[in-house]
């Protein structure tokens, strides 16, 4: 029996009797169609079709959180999901940089309950305006599989200025 193997209509292997072929799916491709064509010695042909779907990444953790413009932000740890820090009385913004471990994830960022970013991709960087009092930043990192999710919360306390001098 003659055996021919096709990947998306391109012949990738052929042989007689027994045939082995390694097939991989590139990350940029969602699926691949495989056809196996068997031809008997009498000329009878049978074709078997298989659809291979690429495994979707289930990694949802962040690989880094960097916050500048405030004091006392604890060092990032991917197993820590809650952070608290004190903002200065003079700065009214902080810069937040987020990066997820998977390049195919989605990041949703809320500041004080308002969505400021909802996009595919594993990187976020933005200046965030601080109000006096508690500023809450929630980060949802959603894995490519759409099932695995991680939520991180940053609470930044901006103290009220005690400066009563006139400029």
Q: Which two tokens stand for residue 138?
A: 């929630």
Residue 36 has pLDDT above 80, yes or no: yes
In the predicted model, what is the mean pLDDT of residues 112-116?
95
Parallel, antiparallel, or unpaired: how do β-strands 82-87 and 149-158 relate? parallel
Stretch 85-114: mean pLDDT: 90
CB atoms within 10 A of CB 98: 24
pLDDT recorded at residue 29 = 76
Average pLDDT for the chain: 88
Q: How many Cα neighbours within 13 Å face the side chain of 89?
A: 6
| Range of weakest confidence among 25-29, 106-110, 125-129 | 25-29
Stretch 51-59: mean pLDDT: 86
Q: Once rounded to an integer, what is the mean pLDDT over residues 50-55? A: 84
As a whole number of angstroms, the distance between CA 2 and CA 40 comes to 6
- pLDDT over 60 (residue 45): yes
Percent of the chain with pLDDT over 70: 93
- Lowest-confidence range among 46-60, 115-129, 137-151? 46-60
**Would residue 89 be called left, alpha or beta, if left means φ above 0 and alpha means ψ between -120 and 50 degrees?**
alpha
Residue with the larger pLDDT of the pair 70 and 82: 82
For residue 89, pLDDT beyond 70: no
Is the model's pLDDT at 134 over the cut of 70?
A: yes
Neighbours of 94 (CB within 10 A): 23
């Amino acid at each position: 029996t003659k055996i021919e193997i096709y990947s998306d209509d391109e012949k990738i292997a052929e042989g007689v009797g027994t045939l082995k072929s390694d097939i991989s799916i590139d990350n940029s491709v969602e699926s691949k169609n495989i056809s196996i064509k068997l031809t008997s010695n009498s000329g009878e042909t049978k074709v078997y079709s298989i659809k291979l779907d690429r495994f979707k990444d289930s990694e949802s953790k962040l690989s880094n959180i960097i916050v500048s413009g405030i004091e006392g932000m604890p060092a990032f740890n991917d197993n820590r999901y809650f952070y608290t820090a004190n903002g200065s009385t003079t700065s009214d913004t902080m810069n937040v940089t987020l990066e997820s471990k998977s390049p195919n994830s989605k990041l949703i960022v809320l500041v004080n309950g308002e969505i400021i970013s909802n996009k595919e991709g594993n990187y976020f960087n933005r200046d965030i305006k601080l109000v006096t009092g508690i500023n809450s930043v929630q980060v949802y990192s959603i894995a490519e599989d759409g099932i695995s999710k991680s939520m991180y919360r940053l609470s930044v306390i901006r103290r009220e200025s005690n400066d009563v001098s006139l400029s």
